[in-house]
Amino acid sequence: MNPPPSLSPRLLEQLEAYYDYSLPATEATQLRAELAQDPALARAVAEWEAVYRHGLRQPAPIAAADTDALRRQFAALEAELPPLTAEAAPRRRLPRWSWAAAAALLLLLGLSYWLLLDPSPTEQIVANEFAWLPRQEATLGPTEDIPDGLRAYDRQDYATAYPLLLQGVEAGQLDSINLLYTGVAALGAEAPTVARDALQALLDAGTYTQSEPEIRYYLALAHLQLGDRGAGTQVLQPLTESDGPWSDRARRLLADIEQLD
């Protein structure tokens, strides 16, 4: 079965990269905005996801009655995106005597800004190595009955996703594997304590051994975001004793940590 004709080769490449967590953040934002503005295209993406990502023989049909719900869903997403243009703020003329004070204040604010935003070496490593982890059932196209936390996670809205995912797991509404996605989202939202606690609880439970490499990798990133190099190294070490993509990433991450010495 061929892909829907409305999906261009460029868009198909973007979709593949999105789920391979190799699509740059700016392009991912543009992709979600494009789907938000074109419900017909979003339905075609849902068809592609159903057939090619989830292995269904036929795409799940989307009833016409769902169109309004789809528009509301993507309108909410679009509302979260920054505006394309910004109105210039009106200029106010300062009295001559205040220019020196204003210049000094701007200099002080500028220095404070860079001091506050300048990341630590371990935080810079996390910024370089962090990437979204797609869920097996992640979808960009319109779907039904997906909890808000998972929907927010799939569109990489980390700040919205992690509290909802954590709440869902604690209430027993979501399987505990979602603590993994809670941790990833918390990292993306720069809430490393939440990420560390969620991922450590999942690792200690020992329930999802197949996902242990991913759990360990993101747990190490949480420790690094908190500035704890020793804990990050300790969590990564078992991954270096095996082969696979997560082991390769762990070795690269350890090499980055060693370069800090």
121-145 pLDDT, tens per residue? 888 888 888 988 988 777 777 766 7
The pLDDT of residue 213: 94
Residue range 13-37: mean pLDDT, rounded: 83
Instruction: Assess whether pLDDT exceeds 70 at residue 153.
Output: yes
Report percent pLDDT > 70 for the chain.
70
Q: Is residue 172 a contact partner of residue 74, using CB atoms and an 8 Å limit?
A: no
Residue range 23-27: mean pLDDT, rounded: 81
Banded pLDDT at 1 (limits 50, 70, 90): very low
Alpha carbons 239 and 250: distance in angstroms, whole number: 6
The pLDDT of residue 97: 42
Sequence-distant contacts of 61-65: CB under 8 A, at least 24 apart: 62/142
For 64, phi then psi, to 5°, come to -60, -30
Question: Of 224, 226, 216, which is closest to residue 246 (Cα–Cα)?
Answer: 216
Instruction: Assess whether pLDDT exceeds 90 at residue 103.
Output: no
CATH, domain 119-261, list 1.10.260.30, 3.40.50.300, 1.25.40.10, 1.10.10.10: 1.25.40.10
- Going from the C-alpha of 147 to that of each of 23, 25, 169, 176, 220, the distances in angstroms are 25, 24, 12, 14, 28
Q: 226-248 burial by CB neighbour count: b if 16+ within 10 A, else e?
A: bebbebbbebbeebeeeeeebbe
Instruction: Assess whether pLDDT exceeds 50 at residue 114.
Output: no
For 140, phi then psi, to 5°, come to -95, -30
The pLDDT of residue 4: 61
Residue range 159-167: mean pLDDT, rounded: 96
Instruction: Assess whether pLDDT exceeds 50 at residue 248.
Output: yes
Alpha carbons 214 and 133: distance in angstroms, whole number: 9
- Going from the C-alpha of 174 to that of each of 131, 210, 245, the distances in angstroms are 23, 19, 28
Neighbours of 194 (CB within 10 A): 19
Mean of all residue pLDDT scores within the chain: 78
- Going from the C-alpha of 65 to that of each of 37, 61, 62, 76, the distances in angstroms are 18, 11, 8, 19
| Boundaries of every domain in the chain | 1-81, 119-261
DSSP state of 82: P
- Residue 246: partners with Cβ closer than 8 Å, 6 or more residues away: 213, 214, 216, 217, 239
Residue range 148-155: mean pLDDT, rounded: 91
Banded pLDDT at 193 (limits 50, 70, 90): very high
Banded pLDDT at 75 (limits 50, 70, 90): low
